[in-house]
Structure 1
Amino acid sequence: MYRFRPDKLRAAAAALGDITRGSIYRRSGISESSCYRILGGQSQPDVNSLLRLATTYGVPVESLMERVPDDESVPA
């Protein structure tokens, strides 16, 4: 199982001057509500959102994810 790393996205976004959730959703084009849930750790991004975020900030998808033990809880 894998978990999204919001801290890694924030670091990549900050490198381009995007330091707020609002600037991240505007630049990436994902919905505001999805961005807030994803960055708040309440949900995992779907494949399209994950690819859009990685592409927008020029980072590999793998750098935004981490493997977790199967018995560890991960938000849906």
Structure 2
Amino acid sequence: MFRLDIAKVLEVAAVHGDKSRADIFRRTGITESSVYRILNGETQPDLNSAMRIAEAYDIDLRTVIKRVPIEAAA
């Protein structure tokens, strides 16, 4: 199973000058509520949202996605 590495997203965003969740939703075009839920760990992004994050910060999607054991994901 794969999960968004929230710490890595925040790190990459900060390098681009985006210090807040509001900065991230403005740059990515993902709705504010979705960004808040994703970054709070309440939900995982769909592929479209994950790609928007990667493209907005000019990174390979694999940079912000990590593999987690299935039993740990439950």
Q: Which residue of 2 aligns with 1:47?
A: 47
Q: Which residue of 1 aligns with 2:30?
A: 30
Structure 2 length-normalised TM = 0.95
Query: What 5-or-longer segments of structure 1 have no aligned partner?
Result: none
In structure 1, the residue corresponding to 2:53 is in which secondary structure? helix
Structure 1 length-normalised TM = 0.92
How far the C-alpha of 1:16 sits from its partner, in A, is: 1.0
- Provide the alpha-carbon RMSD of the alignment: 0.9
Same amino acid, percent of matched pairs: 43
Runs of at least 4 residues off by over 6 Å: none
Aligned residues: 74
How far the C-alpha of 1:61 sits from its partner, in A, is: 0.5
How far the C-alpha of 1:70 sits from its partner, in A, is: 1.2
